[in-house]
Amino acid sequence: MTEEPGLVVHVVDDEEALRDSLGFLFASRGIPTRLWPSGEGFLAGWPRPDCGCIILDVRMEGLSGPQLVDALVRIEGSPAALPPVIFLTGHADVPLAVQSLKGGAFDFMEKPFNDNQIVDRALQAMELHQSRAAEAMSRADLIAQFASLSEREAEVMSLILDGQLNKQIADRLGIAIRTVEVHRARVLQKTGARNSVELARMKARLD
């Protein structure tokens, strides 16, 4: 398992020794990191396009880990819009960490943590982030493809998805069957669908 090129693990912890230790650990596996001594510092430059994963201490001076995540969610609109978050917790913080997981955190790890485990989880988090980004881009492409349909093409598509045949569509819209065939071909061309079944699958992804 390897990290995605260009993605960085951002470590936010007010304990300098722990930050340095994690920076050294990830560097030993060839994984780039950025180290932050406070939630305020990390938040100040948001968004951070290179951020593939956030390793975040629950208890810090100033903004706590959960407070930082809440601030990021307010900016982005939902937990799903954030890079995956791995919380670092002390024993007394476990109930809070479980609550954070329910709120969308990727994982939490209790101190002292296993070095290999935290690296592996960070790599899995970055893979998840990359796949989410690819899915978001794919969805944006789909939206653009369907938005390119003319009003009449969109009407024909809707009737195609209702299972109506060309003659039925022609009668419904008061147009020639040949015109329906032309519109159907344009719908498939513009959306990139090979047939009406694939068109239905693509449309279902947007509904």
pLDDT digits (tens, 9 = 90+) for 40-89: 999 998 999 899 999 999 989 999 998 999 999 999 888 888 999 999 98
pLDDT at residue 97 greater than cutoff 80: no
- Separation between Cα atoms, residue 28 and residue 173, nearest integer Å: 66
- Long-range pairs for 30-37 at CB < 8 Å and ≥24 separation? 30/3, 31/3, 31/119, 31/122, 31/123, 32/7, 32/8, 33/8, 33/9, 34/8, 34/9, 34/10, 35/11, 36/10, 36/11, 36/12, 37/13
Please check the confidence at residue 2 and state whether its pLDDT lies above 50. Answer: no
Give the mean pLDDT of 91-95: 67
pLDDT of residue 9: 97
Q: What is the mean pLDDT of the chain?
A: 89
Question: Under the phi-then-psi rule, with left for phi > 0, alpha for psi from -120 to 50, and beta for the rest, what region is 174?
Answer: left
The CATH superfamily holding the domain 8-133 is Response regulator (3.40.50.2300)
Does the predicted TM-score (pTM) go above 0.85?
no
Segments of the chain assigned to CATH 1.10.10.10: 148-206
Residue 192 has pLDDT above 50, yes or no: yes
Confidence at residue 80, expressed as pLDDT on a 0 to 100 scale: 83
Question: Which CATH number is 148-206 given?
Answer: 1.10.10.10
